[in-house]
Amino acid sequence: MAQRGFHEPGEKPKRFYSAVSIEAGEVGYQVLLDGRSPRSSKGAKLTAPTEALAQMMAEEWARQGEFIELAGMNASRLGFTAIEAIPPVRDQVAQQFADYAGSDLICYFAEAPSALVARQTEAWEPVLIRAEAELGLAFVRAAGIRHQAQPESTLAGVKALAMEHNDFGLAGLAFGAPLFGSAILTLALAKGWMSGEAAYALSRVDEAFQEEKWGIDEEAAERTARLALEAQMLGRWFEALRS
């Protein structure tokens, strides 16, 4: 993001503004720092289609201290992605999202132990059943890790659902699929069926099961906490888009 106060790559820029606000514009709402919009490296202004989403991004800028922690500003970075990166490649992004549905995490159940299989079934089946009923999709369940192809009509349907989203919604889907390893969970989050925290918990049923048995090391715990924050942000992102 190119703006006064931003320095060399790897160096944290000093905060160069005092007041953070949002303002309605010709297209959506604009985030303002002392009355001027932060810009991307290509010069795009930070805007959002809803007031709630602009406010969410503005809160990130307002939380910054003496230095700006760009790495933790997930909503603002995702906003710039939606503004600049998504529009020229919408079809490709939607296809990549559908590809996640082709090997979706929550369609792959363990063969053993029975306790894990039961936990996966309890966690994932209600989501799969709802997706099939409300989204008109059919998912093949697999046991074990061998790839199980999904119906072409299902993958086409997932892509079509992705294409129905505006650039900000599509950016959110593209962010969520690798985060959860699941296009289905990401669609459920976008539809408001669950919170970001709940979606993340469902995406790591296997990991949680193993942690209960073997424990968790510090590095893994830090990674889990970081990804949980990203999931929480994404839940708020979709909520703000729906408002």
Regions of the chain with pLDDT less than 70: 1-10
Distance (Å, whole) CA 147 – CA 139: 13
DSSP designation for 10: T
The helix or strand, by DSSP H or E, that contains position 32, with its residue range, turns out to be strand 29-33
Query: pLDDT at position 27, please?
Result: 83
Domains, the chain, in order of start with CATH, read: 20-85 (3.30.2180.10), 87-242 (1.10.3580.10)
Question: pTM here?
Answer: 0.93
State the CB neighbour count (10 A cutoff) for residue 59. 15
Q: Is 139 exposed, middle or buried (0-12, 13-18, 19+ CB in 10 A)?
A: buried
CB 66 within 8 A of CB 59: no
In our burial notation (b when 16+ CB lie closer than 10 A, e otherwise), range 108-133 reads bbbeeeeebeebbeebbeebbeebee
